[in-house]
Chains A and B, each alone.
Chain A
């Protein structure tokens, strides 16, 4: 695929880029407030990313692809799911762009648009985590792992260390619950309707 683009002198004005979905970057900006057009491709984000080695597209490439509106390619990538949210890129970006926030927004758009996650188990984990909060207002780590295993069918992962933790009294059996859990559920409703 070739990018037919006219670069401006500053190198950061992508408004003239001619292919893809130009509304994608606006969608992202509405969710997280980040202006991806500021990125001038220095590569600092990729240089410092601890998970770049495992990604199908590098962090700076995600940024470029968002700029030119390659919506499907970005939302279908493993990169958006493998971002650990360590905030190194956001800390070091010389243009002050929060790539970690862009990654968050991409994940949110992917889920809302029903795009299949390239790292389905990571999505399952996040979903089970939020379900725990909606249920009890807090996360009961033992239940979280149990529900995650049921959904991902990865029953035998980390059996030994899990048992060890249980024996050390680190995984209690009874979930602690928020009394005003209805108020917490209202916050879920607010977010869903926004």
Chain B
């Protein structure tokens, strides 16, 4: 399989481990990712928050280039995926807007390419069986709270992926590498997203609710597929702990990092160094578990 790869702005910066681990895992599974040449920002939250036309027009330029490549798009970031897919659907339905936008584009959108998230691609039944065959290190002892957040699963009429109220794809991916995901209540709650900068008190409250619930249900880490969720969950743990008088320190992983770890993909361990919350306690636990299972 070959995809037009859309990294987006975050995966070059705050979410660079997500980009790196996605590329490494895709390569290990035989998925070819060709970066969309000269891609532009999808507009993210700010685009649709202030200007509806712009929120469709910005992703349209990337869709047009991908169509010229003759490929479907894979966008790992939840916001990029959601905005690109929303644009894809609206451009298909609204011919007038499509014409107006196309007249400003070098590569027009004809509606041939579709957009998928990295989670959608890597948690497909084919990918999961391929992952299962290639596991070299069983992640037993890892009890992740699989956190889907908002934009990978909502709105279902636009995305058409997983169950918006009880999503399972991330849990399935974790089971495929031997981890034991916990049942918990906050898997599809919002982390506060882009308010991390301008209204951080909201994010502190929401992050506190999320991590506290994950802990209550016996999780020893959180797994995400969104760079904004990662930033908020890592960055606001300390403040949330203070606010709730509760120790809410918890390592957070991208699901691609853990798949890479289980497949022993060379280079994937480098990703862990750029985490803001130390992930070593959990990695040590997995290693200890492996040693004890080897002995018995």
Contact = CB atoms under 8 A, between A and B. Distances in A.
Interface of A: 31-32, 50-51, 53-54, 82, 84-88, 90-91, 98, 100, 104-105, 107-108, 111, 119, 121-122, 124-127, 129-130, 132-133, 137-142, 145, 148, 152, 157-158, 161, 164-165, 168-172, 176, 178-181, 183-184, 186-188, 190-191, 194
B194 interface: yes
Interface string B174-207: 0000000000000001101111011110100110
A191 B51 CA distance: 7
A101 B193 CA distance: 17
B41 A139 contact: yes
Contacts of A54: 202
A8 to B, nearest CB: 28
B274 A168 contact: yes
Contacts, number: 168
A32 B192 CA distance: 23
B104 A130 contact: no
B14 A91 contact: no
Contacts of B53: 190-191, 194
B70 interface: no
Given A104-B52, A138-B40, A139-B9, A169 B16 contact: yes
Contact of A126 (B46, B273, B274): B46
A105 B55 CA distance: 12
B100 interface: yes
Interface residues of B, number: 56
Contact of A122 (B154, B195, B206): B195
A168 B276 contact: yes
A145 B190 contact: no
B166 to A, nearest CB: 12
B268 to A, nearest CB: 17
Closest 8 A/B residue pairs (Cβ): A129-B46, A87-B154, A86-B190, A125-B198, A126-B46, A191-B54, A191-B53, A86-B150
Contacts of A31: 52
Contacts of A191: 51, 53-54, 57
A107 to B, nearest CB: 6
Contacts of A127: 46, 50
B49 A126 contact: yes
A89 B58 CA distance: 25
Interface in B82-132: 100-101, 104-106
B149 to A, nearest CB: 8
B78 to A, nearest CB: 11
Contacts of A32: 52
A108 B51 contact: yes
Contacts of A176: 12
B48 interface: yes
A139 B290 CA distance: 42
Contacts of A161: 235, 276
Contacts of B151: 86-87
A84 to B, nearest CB: 5
B50 A130 contact: yes
A51 B50 contact: no
Interface string B46-86: 11111111100110110000000000000000000000000
Q: Which of A51, A126, A152, A188 has the most CB of B within 10 A?
A: A126
A74 to B, nearest CB: 16
B227 to A, nearest CB: 10
A145 B197 contact: yes
Q: Which of B16, B45, B54, B192 has the most CB of A within 10 A?
A: B54
B13 interface: yes
B58 A133 contact: yes
A85 B194 CA distance: 10
Q: Which of A31, A50, A178, A186 has the most CB of B within 10 A?
A: A50
